[in-house]
């Protein structure tokens, strides 16, 4: 493999070292921790975090990294992937045994599909006065839930995002737990949610946007009861709810 990086602030090593540590390596596997993607190259692991609008593009041939294609990898067999718009994210290199020490990974709460994510865990984590939406967005409580999915989870669970989390009943916590696994599981299967121009490296868009029940659907009828979906602001984020199904918070 051949590799290059354009912006030094995108990675945690010198650009020459980035090249040197990846050259000749093979991709042995991929993984995910919360919203962080892991690329396993044997004695070095790529820790990649995309923020808004970061993406992977497939290029026709090797191109020197530049302002747009911030990091470029060419695999054996000729596949060239460019990690674009990385000024909003990063591509760090870590030793395999030290990935858990990465500042963002070490603070992550359990993955929704791990055995540690139980209704009991969630009840304890949510036993605070803050809004349930704010807490579900907190990556140290659950790894991997973003704004779109929190709104969909809380709609499925019939809980208003602005509810004080410590007022939730055990039944509501169980409903949030089940909806988190269900909705994230289906979203991953459908390759995520695509708005505007996002495509993955193979030109595919996600398909989960067709399954969204409330997110970006202000003014449309609630698919459960027919009341009008409204947009508000909770935890500093645009928030979509059905006032009839989810109450007023
Ligand atoms: Zn409704």
Q: Calculate how far, in angstroms, residue 156's C-alpha sits from the geometric centre of ligand 1.
A: 10
Pairing of strands 45-49, 69-74: unpaired
pLDDT interval class at 101 (50, 70, 90):
very high
Q: Is the pLDDT of residue 99 over 80?
A: yes
Confidence of residue 207 (pLDDT cuts 50, 70, 90): confident
Q: Could you report the per-residue pLDDT of 165-177, keeping only the tens digit for each?
A: 999 999 999 999 9
DSSP string, 167-207: G--HHHHHHHHHHHHHHHHHHHHTT----TT---TTSPPPS
From the number of C-beta atoms within 10 Å of its C-beta (0-12, 13-18, 19+), residue 28 rates as: exposed
The long-range contacts involving 118-126, CB below 8 angstroms and separated by at least 24 positions, are 118/177, 119/170, 119/173, 119/174, 119/177, 122/173, 122/176, 122/177, 123/170, 123/173, 126/165, 126/166, 126/168, 126/173, 126/176
State the distance from the centre of ligand 1 to the C-alpha of 63, rounded, in angstroms. 51
Range of the structural domain that residue 48 is part of:
2-106
Instruction: Provide the number of structural domains found in the chain.
Output: 2
- Asked whether residue 46 is assigned to any structural domain, the reply reads yes
pTM recorded for the entire structure: 0.79
Q: Tell how far the Cα of 212 is from the centroid of ligand 1, in angstroms.
A: 14
**Mean predicted confidence (pLDDT) in 10-27:** 93
Q: What average pLDDT does the segment 99-121 reach?
A: 93
Q: What mean pLDDT do residues 175-190 have?
A: 92
- 203 pLDDT above the threshold of 70: no
Among candidate residues 65, 83, 106, the one where a domain is terminated: 106
CATH code of the domain covering residue 100 = 3.20.190.10
**Terminal Cα-to-Cα distance of the chain (whole angstroms):** 53
Ligand 1 center to 244 CA (angstroms) = 5
> What's 215's domain CATH number?
1.10.8.50
Cα distances (Å, whole numbers) of residue 90 to 19, 52, 168, 173: 15, 12, 37, 34
Q: How many CB atoms lie within 10 A of CB 70?
A: 25
114, part of any domain = no
Q: Among 47, 77, 106, identify where a domain stops.
A: 106
Cβ(74)–Cβ(60) under 8 Å?
no
Rounded to 5 degrees, what are φ and ψ at 236?
75, 10
Q: 98 with 132, same domain?
A: no
Ligand 1 centroid from CA 145, angstroms: 22
Q: Do 21 and 60 have their domain in common?
A: yes
Could you tell me the distance, in angstroms and rounded to a whole number, from the CA of residue 32 to the centre of ligand 1? 34
* Residue 174 near residue 113, CB atoms below 8 Å: no
In a domain, 111, yes or no: no
Together in a domain, 88 and 136: no
The two three-digit tokens of residue 218, written as one number: 């202000």
Among residues 106, 128, 143, the one where a domain terminates is 106
| 92 in the same domain as 165 | no
Residue that wins the pLDDT comparison between 83 and 168:
168
Q: What is the distance between the alpha carbons of residues 159 and 39, in angstroms, rounded to a whole number?
A: 37
* Residue ranges with CB less than 5 Å from ion ligand 1: 222, 224-225, 227, 242, 244-245
Query: Ligand 1 mean position to 160 CA, how many Å?
Result: 11
Residue 228 within a domain:
yes
């Amino acid at each position: 493999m051949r590799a290059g990086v354009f912006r030094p602030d995108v990675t945690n090593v010198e650009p020459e070292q980035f090249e040197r540590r990846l050259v000749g390596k093979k991709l042995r596997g991929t993984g995910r921790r919360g919203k962080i993607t892991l690329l396993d190259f044997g004695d070095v692991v790529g820790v990649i975090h995309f923020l808004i609008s970061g993406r992977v593009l497939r290029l026709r041939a090797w191109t020197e990294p530049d302002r747009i294609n911030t990091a470029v990898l060419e695999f054996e067999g000729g596949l060239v992937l460019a990690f674009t718009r990385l000024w909003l994210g990063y591509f760090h290199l870590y030793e395999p045994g030290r990935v858990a020490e990465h500042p963002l990974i070490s603070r992550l709460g359990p993955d929704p599909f791990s055995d540690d994510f139980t209704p009991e865990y969630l009840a304890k984590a949510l036993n605070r006065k803050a809004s349930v939406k704010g807490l579900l967005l907190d990556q140290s409580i659950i790894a991997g839930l973003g704004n779109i999915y929190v709104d969909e989870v809380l709609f499925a669970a019939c809980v208003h995002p602005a509810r004080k989390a410590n007022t939730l009943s055990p039944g509501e916590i169980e409903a949030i737990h089940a909806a988190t696994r269900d909705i994230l599981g289906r979203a991953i299967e459908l390759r995520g949610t695509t708005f505007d121009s996002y495509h993955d490296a193979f030109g595919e868009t996600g398909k989960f946007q067709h399954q969204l029940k409330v997110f970006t659907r202000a003014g449309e009828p609630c698919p459960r009861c027919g009341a009008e979906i409204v947009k508000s602001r909770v935890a500093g984020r645009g928030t979509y709810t059905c006032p009839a199904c989810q109450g007023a918070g």
